Amino acid sequence: MRPLAMLPEILLFGGGLTVLICGSFLPRTRQWRTRLLAAVVLVSAIVVAAVAWAGGETTAFEGAFAVDTATGVVRIAAAVGALAVLALAGGEIAGSDRESETYALILFATAGTLVVAGAQDLLVLAPGFLLASIPVYGLIGLRRDGVSAEAAMKTYLLGALFGIVLLAGITLLYGVSGVTDYTELTRRLPDAPDAVVAAGLLGVTAGLLFKAGGLPAHFWVPDAAQGASATVATFVTTVPKVGALVAIYRLAQIVPDTVAWPAVLAVFAVAGMVLATLAAYWQDDPRRLLGWSTVAQVGFLLVPVVVIADSELALPALLFYLLGYTVTNVAAFAVSAARPDLRELGVFRGLARSSPLLAGSLVVALLGLVGTPPTAVFVAKLTVATSAWEGGWAWLAVAVVIVTVLSLFFYLRWLAPVFGRSTPGQSDDVPRAEPWAAATAVAAAVASVALGVLAGPVWHVLTA
């Protein structure tokens, strides 16, 4: 074990405390300094994470926390996503009475996400889950209006329920094995009663699916995306998902062959893809549509976890998908944040003429979420389907292709008005796009394309 193997997590949590304390002594007009401090903390965490990744695999706390390629990807993706969220906050919540608290909660939740991703012990996973969840409840309710209060309450109640389910699952696994360390669980679970092991795994996975925003714990996601501020909606649909999916991958590695766990995950994956895609068809609020989109994306992200033991492509496909999804989802939400006055799909009519850069970013983001070349998610979905096929799950690969095609139609419902003519009587006085959000949208869209074009070198790093 190397000293300070968990330095990125320490930086984020300590940075959150520092931002919270400093914000208490700064006047509202100078709260931007806490945003700058939070950005410095995130950049420092990225640098330290990259150095740790280059240093090779290791563990912390006697093997309870893994520092490997998966942890490195989550650290960088989560910190980059949080940085983009801070950029959005520069225009949306700057000068508000809860500005520094927002930045502190973002840092705390990001730290919890990293702990969840690297946990190799159930007793580390549980506090990581709480650290990643509790700040999110506060973030969603910060707008203090009826819609955000309802979304925060739904998220809190579902989080409490699935937190209890996760703890119950941990209790069952400990009860039949006497250990919580993943290495020892791998050795002892094959001798435990299959029904109890399956119930325990189901409980822990259900809790992690709440963090990921996936079925069956997905009901809070569309409400949070619609009711929270754009800053918070972008964060809660992006960063926690990255850590939760890697945590599910680690959990899948301890499952004994006597339990048909891949089949259970396959059901969750396909059901999530299909149901969320169908639900997205009827949405008229762009943020709610993106909320259902993120639920569907969890289904796609579960596919490589299903075949993690059968395909060498599975882990790099999962990690690359997480990187691609992070920048692409940020781009989509950033467009919505840049024009907060556009809260129905129809009122985006004529955006291509009035704001061509913003419209171009939206095209890249939405077609990227579908999986259109040359964006990053295209490469990700291609490798995910290939890993399923290679692992002997041909029907799952076919499901990925079919649902991808179906999802194109609800994204086109948003894109069609963008290139349409302005309606008669529509004012030519178009509101100016919020500059921080617009710049974030363009940068994230460019990153999505760049990541797709440079997929070869990135893939080499992920498999090195």
Amino acid at site 429: D
- Region of 310 (left: φ > 0; alpha: ψ -120 to 50; beta: rest) is alpha
Helix (H) or strand (E) holding 58: strand 58-60
Q: What is the pLDDT of residue 352?
A: 83
CB-based contacts of 155: which residues, under 8 Å, 6+ apart? 136, 137, 140, 220, 223, 224
Kindly report the number of other CB atoms within 10 A of residue 430's CB atom.
15
d(CA 410, CA 131): 34
Helix (H) or strand (E) holding 66: strand 65-67
CB-based contacts of 298: which residues, under 8 Å, 6+ apart? 209, 212, 213, 214, 215, 218, 241, 245, 272
> SS3 of 349, please?
coil
- Per DSSP, 311 falls in state -
CB-based contact 35:203 (threshold 8 Å) = no
CB-based contact 378:408 (threshold 8 Å) = no
Chain segment 331-384, per-residue pLDDT in tens: 999 998 888 877 888 888 888 888 889 999 999 999 999 999 999 999 999 999
Chain segment 184-224, per-residue pLDDT in tens: 999 999 989 989 999 999 999 999 999 999 988 888 999 99
Q: What is the pLDDT of residue 54?
A: 85
Q: What is the pLDDT of residue 428?
A: 54
d(CA 12, CA 22): 15
- The low-confidence residues of the chain, meaning pLDDT below 50, are none
Rg of the chain over CA atoms, in angstroms?
21
Alpha helices (H) in 119-193, listed in sequence order: 122-140, 146-177, 182-188
Q: What is the pLDDT of residue 2?
A: 62
Q: What is the pLDDT of residue 104?
A: 93
- Per DSSP, 285 falls in state S
Give phi and psi for 53, each to the nearest 5. -65, -45
d(CA 456, CA 376): 11
> SS3 of 97, please?
coil
Of the chain, the end-to-end C-alpha distance in Å amounts to: 21
pTM for the whole structure:
0.94
Q: Two tokens at 141?
A: 């309710």
Exposure class string for 119-140: b at 16+ Cβ within 10 A, else e: bbbbebbbebbbbbbbbbbbbb
Q: What is the pLDDT of residue 100?
A: 85
d(CA 327, CA 338): 16
- Region of 186 (left: φ > 0; alpha: ψ -120 to 50; beta: rest) is alpha
d(CA 162, CA 159): 5
Q: What is the pLDDT of residue 417?
A: 86
d(CA 321, CA 189): 30
d(CA 417, CA 401): 26
Q: What is the pLDDT of residue 429?
A: 56
Domain boundaries, the chain: 261-422+432-464
Q: What is the pLDDT of residue 44?
A: 95
Kindly report the number of other CB atoms within 10 A of residue 195's CB atom.
11
Helix (H) or strand (E) holding 67: strand 65-67
Helix (H) or strand (E) holding 59: strand 58-60
